[in-house]
Chain A
Amino acid sequence: MARRPRTLTVLGVGASVAVAALVLGALAAILVRAGGFAGLRPSDWGAVRFTLWQAALSALLSVGLAVPVARGLARRRFPGRGLLVTLMGAPFILPVIVAILGLLTVFGRGGWVNDALGAVGLPPVGIYGAHGVILAHVFFNLPLATRLILQGWQDIPAERFRLAANLGLSPARIARLIEWPMLRATLPGALLVVFVVCTTSFAVALTLGGGPRATTIELAIYQAFRFDFDLGRAAALALLQLAVTAVAGLVALRATMPEAVGRGLDRPVQRWDRVPPWADVAWIALAAAFLLAPLAALARRGMPALTDLPAPVWQAAGRSVAVAAVSALVCVAMAVAIAVAAARLGGARATAVELAGMLGLAASPLVLGTGLFIVTYPYVRPQDAALAVTAVVNAAMALPFALRALVPAVARVEAEYGRLADALGLRGAARMRRLVLPRIRRPLGFAAGLAAALSMGDLGVIALFADPGSATLPLQLYRLMGAYRMDEAAGAALLLLGLSLAAFWICDRGGRVDADA
Chain B
Amino acid sequence: MLTLDRAVARLPDWTLAADLSVERAAQVAVMGPSGAGKSTLLAAIGGFVPLSAGRITWDGVRIDTRAPAERPVATIFQDDNLFPHLSAFENVGLGIAPNRRLVGAERDRVEDMLARVGLEGMGARKPAALSGGEQSRVALARAVLQDRPVILLDEPFAALGPALKAEMIDLVSELAGARGRTVLMVTHDPRDARRLGGDTILVAEGRAEPPAPTGALLAKPPPALAAYLGQVEARGSNAYLPPGPGRERT
A residues at B contact (CB < 8 Å) = 1-3, 416-417, 419-428, 430, 434-435, 438-439, 515-517
Are B84 and A516 in contact (CB-based, < 8 A)? yes
Task: Across the interface, name the chain B residue whose C-beta is closest to A421.
Answer: B98
Given the contacts A419-B48, A516-B84, A2 and B65 also touching, CB distance less than 8 Å: yes
Are A417 and B68 in contact (CB-based, < 8 A)? no
The stretch among B73-81, B110-118, B160-168 that forms the contact with chain A is B73-81
Checking A416, A424, A515, A516 against B98 with a beta-carbon cut-off of 8 angstroms, the contacting residue is A424
Checking B47, B80, B95 against A1 with a beta-carbon cut-off of 8 angstroms, the contacting residue is B47
Q: Is B146 in contact with chain A by the CB < 8 A criterion?
A: yes
Contacts of B146 in A (CB 8 A): 424
A387 to B146, CA, bound (A): 51
Q: How far is the CB of A299 from chain B (nearest CB, A)?
A: 40
Are A425 and B47 in contact (CB-based, < 8 A)? no
Given the contacts A416-B80, A420-B80, A434-B83, A427 and B46 also touching, CB distance less than 8 Å: no
Are B47 and A430 in contact (CB-based, < 8 A)? no
Q: How far is the CB of A415 from chain B (nearest CB, A)?
A: 9
Given the contacts A430-B98, A516-B126, A517-B128, A423 and B84 also touching, CB distance less than 8 Å: no
Q: Is B174 in contact with chain A by the CB < 8 A criterion?
A: no
A458 to B95, CA, bound (A): 48
A428 to B100, CA, bound (A): 11
Task: Across the interface, name the chain A residue whose C-beta is closest to B100.
Answer: A430
Are B47 and A422 in contact (CB-based, < 8 A)? yes
Q: How far is the CB of A55 from chain B (nearest CB, A)?
A: 44
Checking A423, A515, A517 against B46 with a beta-carbon cut-off of 8 angstroms, the contacting residue is A423
Contacts of A417 in B (CB 8 A): 80, 83
Task: Across the interface, name the chain A residue whose C-beta is closest to B86.
Answer: A434
A422 to B81, CA, bound (A): 12
Contacts of B67 in A (CB 8 A): 1-3, 422, 425
Q: Is B220 in contact with chain A by the CB < 8 A criterion?
A: no
Contacts of B81 in A (CB 8 A): 420
B47, B83, B86 — which one has the most chain A CB atoms within 10 A of its CB? B83
Q: Is B94 in contact with chain A by the CB < 8 A criterion?
A: yes
Are B50 and A435 in contact (CB-based, < 8 A)? no
Q: How far is the CB of A423 from chain B (nearest CB, A)?
A: 5
Are B70 and A425 in contact (CB-based, < 8 A)? yes
Contacts of A419 in B (CB 8 A): 48, 68, 77
Contacts of B70 in A (CB 8 A): 425
Contacts of B50 in A (CB 8 A): 1
Are B99 and A438 in contact (CB-based, < 8 A)? no
Contacts of B47 in A (CB 8 A): 1, 422-423
Task: Across the interface, name the chain B residue whose C-beta is closest to A4.
Answer: B67
Task: Across the interface, name the chain A residue whose C-beta is closest to B82.
Answer: A420
Are A1 and B85 in contact (CB-based, < 8 A)? no
A-B contact pairs, 10 of them (CB 8 A): A1-B47, A425-B69, A425-B70, A427-B69, A427-B99, A430-B98, A434-B98, A439-B83, A439-B85, A516-B85
Given the contacts A1-B47, A2-B65, A426 and B98 also touching, CB distance less than 8 Å: yes
Contacts of A420 in B (CB 8 A): 77, 80-81, 83
Classify the interface of chain B: helix, strand, loop or mixed: loop
B75, B99, B146 — which one has the most chain A CB atoms within 10 A of its CB? B99
Contacts of B94 in A (CB 8 A): 424, 426, 434
Contacts of A439 in B (CB 8 A): 83, 85
A424 to B143, CA, bound (A): 9
Q: How far is the CB of B133 from chain A (nearest CB, A)?
A: 19
A1, A3, A416, A515 — which one has the most chain B CB atoms within 10 A of its CB? A1
Q: How far is the CB of A516 from chain B (nearest CB, A)?
A: 5
Are A425 and B99 in contact (CB-based, < 8 A)? yes
The interface bits of chain B over 83-96 (1 if a CB of A lies within 8 angstroms of the residue's CB, else 0) are: 11110000000110
Are B75 and A423 in contact (CB-based, < 8 A)? yes
Contacts of B86 in A (CB 8 A): 434, 438
Q: Which 8 A-B pairs have the closest CB atoms?
A: A425-B69, A430-B99, A426-B98, A438-B85, A422-B68, A516-B85, A424-B98, A423-B68
A2, A416, A425, A438 — which one has the most chain B CB atoms within 10 A of its CB? A425
A425 to B100, CA, bound (A): 11
13 new A-B contacts, CB < 8 A, other than A422-B67, A425-B68, are A1-B65, A2-B65, A419-B48, A420-B83, A422-B69, A423-B47, A423-B73, A423-B75, A426-B94, A434-B98, A438-B83, A516-B84, A517-B84
Contacts of B84 in A (CB 8 A): 516-517
A423 to B82, CA, bound (A): 12
Q: How far is the CB of A179 from chain B (nearest CB, A)?
A: 36
Task: Across the interface, name the chain B residue whose C-beta is closest to A428.
Answer: B99
B70, B73, B77, B85 — which one has the most chain A CB atoms within 10 A of its CB? B85
Contacts of B98 in A (CB 8 A): 421, 424-427, 430, 434
A348 to B99, CA, bound (A): 31
Q: How far is the CB of A52 from chain B (nearest CB, A)?
A: 49
Task: Across the interface, name the chain A residue whose C-beta is closest to B73.
Answer: A423
A438 to B83, CA, bound (A): 10
A422 to B68, CA, bound (A): 6
A3 to B68, CA, bound (A): 11
Given the contacts A417-B80, A430-B100, A423 and B85 also touching, CB distance less than 8 Å: no
Task: Across the interface, name the chain A residue whose C-beta is closest to B94.
Answer: A424
Are B68 and A1 in contact (CB-based, < 8 A)? yes
Q: How far is the CB of A431 from chain B (nearest CB, A)?
A: 8
Task: Across the interface, name the chain A residue whose C-beta is closest to B143.
Answer: A423
Contacts of A2 in B (CB 8 A): 65-67
Given the contacts A417-B83, A438-B85, A516-B85, A423 and B74 also touching, CB distance less than 8 Å: yes
A67 to B85, CA, bound (A): 41
Contacts of A435 in B (CB 8 A): 83
Contacts of B69 in A (CB 8 A): 422-427
A439 to B85, CA, bound (A): 7
Q: How far is the CB of A511 from chain B (nearest CB, A)?
A: 13
Contacts of A427 in B (CB 8 A): 69, 98-99
A435 to B98, CA, bound (A): 11
Q: How far is the CB of B12 from chain A (nearest CB, A)?
A: 14
The interface bits of chain B over 16-44 (1 if a CB of A lies within 8 angstroms of the residue's CB, else 0) are: 00000000000000000000000000000
Task: Across the interface, name the chain A residue whose C-beta is closest to B79.
Answer: A416
Q: How far is the CB of B146 from chain A (nearest CB, A)?
A: 7
A423 to B95, CA, bound (A): 10
A2 to B68, CA, bound (A): 10
Contacts of A425 in B (CB 8 A): 67-70, 98-99
